Amino acid sequence: MPKAQETILEIDLNALKHNYEYLKSQLQNNTKFLAVVKAFAYGSDACEIAKFLESLNVDYFAVAYNNEGVSLRESGIDTPILVLHPQTVNFNSLVENCLEPSIYNHKILDEFIETAESKQLTNYPIHLKFNTGLNRLGFSKTDIDSVVSKIKATKAIKVKSVLSHLGASEDLNEKTFTQNQIKSFEDISTKIIGALGYRPILHLCNTSGILNYPEAHLDMVRSGIGLYGFGNSEKQNKNFKPIASLKTVISQIHTIHKGESVGYNRGYISNSSIKTATLPIGHADGIGRQYGKGKGYVIINNKKAPIVGNVCMDMIMVNITNIDCKEGDEVIIFGPSTTAEQLAETANTISYELITGISQRVKRVFLK
C-alpha cells in the first residue's frame, strides 16, 4: 500500500471481516450477532463500518445515542438499530428513524409509552435493560412486575429483547462475579417471559463474554471492541486483527544541542546533542498530553521514537537520534504491529480510550 503523505487513519475492512467471522465461529448457528458501532464505530467511521457489516448480514446494530442512529439511517442502513442510552428529548426523532430504545428505568418507560401512544403506534419494539451488577443502567429484579404491568396496559409497544451487561467478563479472576450475573439474568429472563407470555430475544454477552462464557450466548451476542481488533487479553488478541492504523509523516527535523529545550513550557531540556522530528498530529487529533515527555512513542522505519516534551495541539516532537530517516518519511502511531493497546499502556489507559479519541479531522482511508 502507498506510504502516508499526511495524517491518516487507515481502516482495513478485510481485518474487520476476519474479526467478524472469528467471533461468529464462536457461536451456535442460530445465535444472532449485534455489532456495536457507537462512538464513530470505536473511532473509525460508523457509516462505512455499518455498511460493510450489513453486507455480511449482521443481525443488529447498537449505538449509544440517538444522533448516532440517525446518521446510520441517513447513510442508508436498514438493519435494526438499538439505542443503548436514549434520552427523552430525542424520542420523536428516534421513532421517525425507526430506532429501537433500550428502556432502563420507569421514567424512560413512562415517557416512551406516552410518545408511542401519542403517535398511535402499535407494538413498537423496545428493549428492556436490567442491572445485574454493573450498576450503571437498568431496572432491578424487583421492578419486573411493575414494568410488565405497564407494558401489558398498552398496545403501543412490545418487548423485542431483554438485556443486561457483564461487568468483568474479561477478568477470569472475577469468574464468580460474572457467573452470578449470568444466573441473575437467567432468573430475570424466566420471570419476564412468564409474565409477558412470549419470549423476547435474550442477550447478555459482550466481546469477552462471547469468548469466555459460551454458556451465556443465549439468543444474541453483542460485540464492539472485538470487531475492531482486540480480544481484551494477550491470548485472545492473537485471534484478532486491529482494523485501524494511525499514520503520519515527518514534517521537519531539528538538531537540539545540549541545554536547548523542545516545545511548550520547555517540556524537554536536552542534556546532549539529539535530533528530533516534528509530526503533524497532536492532542486535537487524539494523542493526549499524557503521552508526552517520553511516555508514548511512534514507529519510524521499524524503530521506536519516544515523544519529546509536551504534546502540542497539532504537533508532537519525537527523538530520532538513532533512526535513519528524513523529512517526508512515514510514521506509524499505531497499527497491526505496534497496536493501540500497546501505546495506550504507556499512558496507563486502554485501547478503547485511544481509538475512540481519534479526531474526526483525521482523514479516514478505507482498504477494501
Q: What is the pLDDT of residues 49-69, one digit of tens each?
A: 999 999 999 999 999 999 999
Note the pLDDT tens digit of each residue in 16-43.
999 999 999 999 999 999 999 999 999 9
Considering the chain, what is the average pLDDT of its residues? 97
Q: Domain boundary residue among 198, 228, 258?
A: 228
pLDDT of residue 44: 98
Which residues on neighbouring strands pair with residue 201, listed in sequence order?
161
| Sign of the alpha-carbon dihedral angle for 54, 364, 302, 266 | negative
Q: How confident is the model at residue 368 (pLDDT cuts 50, 70, 90)?
A: confident
CATH number at residue 95: 3.20.20.10
Same domain as 319, residue 212? no
Give CA–CA dist 308/340, Å, rounded: 19
Mean pLDDT of 158-171: 97
Residue 20 is assigned to a structural domain of this protein: no
AA identity, residue 220: M
User: In the chain, which residue ranges form alpha helices assigned H by DSSP?
Assistant: 13-25, 38-43, 46-55, 66-74, 91-96, 106-118, 144-152, 175-196, 207-212, 234-237, 340-346, 351-356
Catalytic residue among 22, 38, 124, 228: 38
Kind of pairing between the strands at 124-129 and 100-103: parallel
Could you tell me the CATH number of the domain that includes residue 361?
A: 2.40.37.10
Query: What are 94-117's pLDDT values in tens digits?
Result: 999 999 999 999 999 999 999 999
C-alpha distances out from residue 324 to 24, 94, 198, 253, 336, Å: 44, 54, 67, 12, 22
Share of the chain above pLDDT 70, in %: 100
Q: Average pLDDT of 332-357?
A: 97
* pTM: predicted TM-score of the whole model, two decimal places: 0.96
- Together in a domain, 103 and 166: yes
Which of 162, 193, 228 is the last residue before a domain boundary? 228
Say which residues have a Cβ less than 8 Å from residue 58's Cβ, sequence separation at least 6: 20, 33, 34, 35, 79
Q: Is residue 205 located within the same domain as residue 314?
A: no
297: β partners: 306
Cell numbers standing for residue 270: 536536552
* Residue 5: count of CB within 10 angstroms of its CB: 11
Q: Which domain holds residue 297?
A: 244-367
Could you tell me if 66 and 172 lie in one domain?
A: yes
Within-domain flag for 237? no
**Domain annotation covers residue 271:** yes
Residues forming a β-bridge with 63: 83
Report if residue 1 sits inside a domain.
Answer: no
Give 269's strand partners.
261
Tell me: do 77 and 219 sit in the same domain. yes
For residue range 239-248, list pLDDT tens digits in order.
Answer: 999 999 999 9
Q: Give the single-character DSSP code of 329.
A: -
* For residue 169, pLDDT beyond 80: yes
* Sheet strand arrangement including 330-334: 252-256, 274-279, 316-319, 303-308, 297-300, 330-334, 244-249, 8-12, 363-367
* Residue 235 falls in the annotated catalytic set: no
Adjacent-strand bridge partners of 162 = 128, 202
Compute the chain's Rg from CA coordinates: 24
224 and 252 in a single domain? The answer is no
Whether residue 237 contacts residue 170, with contact meaning beta carbons closer than 8 Å, is answered with no
pLDDT at 1 over 80: no
Report how far apart the first and last C-alpha atoms of the chain are (Å, whole number).
Answer: 12
* 282 and 183 share one domain: no
3, 264, 304, 363: the active-site residue? 264
Q: Would you say residue 323 lies in a domain?
A: yes
- What's the pLDDT score for residue 288? 97
Mean pLDDT of 240-259: 98
264 is catalytic: yes
Instruction: Based on the fold, state whether residues 136 and 271 are members of the same structural domain.
Output: no
Is residue 250 within 8 Å of residue 230, measured between CB atoms? no
Q: Please, are residues 35 and 227 in contact by the beta-carbon 8 Å criterion?
A: yes
106 & 195 share domain: yes
Provide the number of structural domains found in the chain.
2
Does 18 map to a domain? Answer: no
Same domain, 268 and 173: no
DSSP-derived letter for residue 264 is: G
pLDDT of residue 262: 97
**Considering only CA atoms, which of 126, 103, 130 is closest in space to residue 187?**
130
Same domain, 170 and 279: no
Q: pLDDT band at 2, cuts 50/70/90? A: confident
253 shares a domain with 209: no
Residue type (1 letter), 306: P
